[in-house]
Copies of this chain bind each other. A is one copy, B any other.
Amino acid sequence: MNNDSTKLTVDAVVFGYRAPKEIIVLLIQRKFEPFKGTWALPGGFVLNGESLEDAVYRELQEETGVELSYLEQLYTFGKPDRDPRGHVVSVAYFGLIKPDNLDLVASTDATDAHWFSIKELPKLAFDHQDILNRAINRLRAKVGYEPIGFELLDSKFLFGELENLYMSLLDRTIDRRNFRKKILALGILDELDEKVSQGPGRPAKLFQFNEKRYFELKEQGIFFEI
């Protein structure tokens, strides 16, 4: 039973949101062969005895310094020829980050890390474009039946931001009145007393996602759906 030369990596697809209409993804430029100089998803080898999630957090920390607000497993990619170095199986993760945390620190590996709009992507190393495509599909699908959109906004946000985010994610226009009715009817947003005004126009109220309330409703079998 020859298993010793199959290696295990993790890769992370981390999405962010840049107002008003851009969904962005975190990429690093590879410093070493193979694919030296090519853009790729952050990731790397899993250490023996290390959990998969720990490996993701460690690699992200090492390569980009970002702090996630959400992480879940995406899919495992295991085609024997996906890495020219040999049989490397990669467990891909799917992460979200708040606009607060978009700054990238100089990485310990001195790899270059940048945010790219998912509509203007460079050529990617390995099968990372496949991984990214799967992640985008997951993001678009999931945003419709779980309240993960809030993980892409600061904890206090304007309704208009939520609206723009959903339009960017789903890549279509949304009726403002119907959207507001639907979301507020779910009862998972707290309306704060604070208002912000930014330039001309009527100042807007701040809202906050009430996670506790969401879980209560979920227990009762009342589901989030857009």
Contact = CB atoms under 8 A, between A and B. Distances in A.
Given A73-B75, A73-B76, A76-B73, A87 B3 contact: no
B79 A48 contact: no
B1 A4 contact: no
A224 to B, nearest CB: 14
Nearest to A92: B76
Nearest to A141: B145
Interface centre among A5, A47, A48, A79 (most CB of B within 10 A): A48
A48 B91 contact: no
A4 B48 contact: yes
Interface centre among A1, A6, A49, A87 (most CB of B within 10 A): A6
Contact of A76 (B4, B5, B76): B76
B48 A87 contact: yes
A7 interface: yes
B3 A47 contact: yes
A57 to B, nearest CB: 14
Given A52-B89, A89-B52, A46 B6 contact: yes
A51 interface: yes
The 7 A-B pairs with the shortest beta carbon distances in the complex, nearest first, are A52-B78, A76-B76, A49-B80, A2-B48, A3-B45, A5-B48, A76-B91
Interface of A: 1-8, 45-52, 73, 75-76, 78-80, 87, 89, 91
